[in-house]
Amino acid sequence: MAELTYRDAIARGIAQEMRRDHNVVFLGEDVAAAGGVFKTTVGLLDEFGPLRVRDTPISEQAILGAAMGAAMTGLRPIAEIMFSDFFAVCWDIVANEIAKSRYMTNGQVSFPLVIRSGNGGGLRFGAQHSQSVENWAMMIPGLKVVVPATPLDVIGLLAAAIRDPDPVIFLEAKALYSTKGEVPDGEIVDELGTAKVVREGSDATIVALGTMVARALESANQLSEAGVECTVLDLRSLVPLDTQTLLAEVSKTGRMFTVEENPRLCGWGGELVSIVTEEVFFDLDGPPVRITTPHIPLPAADALEDMAIPSVERITATIQKAMNS
């Protein structure tokens, strides 16, 4: 058992799969010699060499075009898009080519590739480098969408994503890169589409993702002191979505609160509310409540960014108000 940072877990997860399968290759901007702009890929070039770990030009279209071609010809590429905001300049390749080509070729061509990217705010990078875009990706048929919250989940879910036959968008919470967690020795492989109950309670279910998981846990501990016991459910994966666990946990408590870093309009919590109200409406003791970032470009100023992204204090206050009403 070792304690790893979230960023070191990424390098370990990639290395694990590159050792296992020589068809796994890795490409992106500054991922080789520099070890990644966020230092998430340190040591990979030294171990696997420049044929399998490749620096690319500053062109997201080139990175994903090369990854798509590599996947079509039998490799299992991992492509890094430095900031998830930059999906905007290569979205045609993601949404219209990578996501749809297996379907359009009737399975004659497969696309076993992973697109990694730093996602979300909290680091004062401003509106063009701080977006939380998981809701962009989850609406595209043909893409799987994964957002790990801990170093252990980083390794296990990354391994599952690399081994998956379909394209996976793997979104890493930039605000978590320096956080630490216990990780066992040996090979770690998880399963896509499985949510994890990280805290059990009887009064309400808090559903969270990525950076918001730790904040939901801290809020649940505060609420416990006030006599409100909350289950915290880490979704981990938006596509496929573990609806069985979601519905079971909400049915147990009768209340659901989603904590979302993405902007409120068309956020993933809206889809969860729809599923819950359609499937277990009569198990609810009150309306589902969404706690989100407002529908605004994320500010760079620290006080304003902190005000926009759901904080522990806002989560706690919102749940207390709803439970007492």
Q: Known catalytic residues?
A: 129
- Under a CB-based contact definition with an 8 Å cutoff, are residues 111 and 98 in contact? yes
Which structure tokens are listed for 237?
């994966």
- Under a CB-based contact definition with an 8 Å cutoff, are residues 55 and 26 in contact? no
Which structure tokens are listed for 241?
């979505």
Other Cβ atoms closer than 10 A to 55? 14
Q: What is the H or E stretch that residue 262 is in?
A: strand 256-263
d(CA 315, CA 12): 33
d(CA 26, CA 67): 9
- Spatial CB neighbours of 87, under 8 Å, sequence gap ≥ 6: 60, 81, 94, 117, 133, 136, 137
d(CA 212, CA 230): 15
CA 260 from chain centre, in angstroms, equals 12
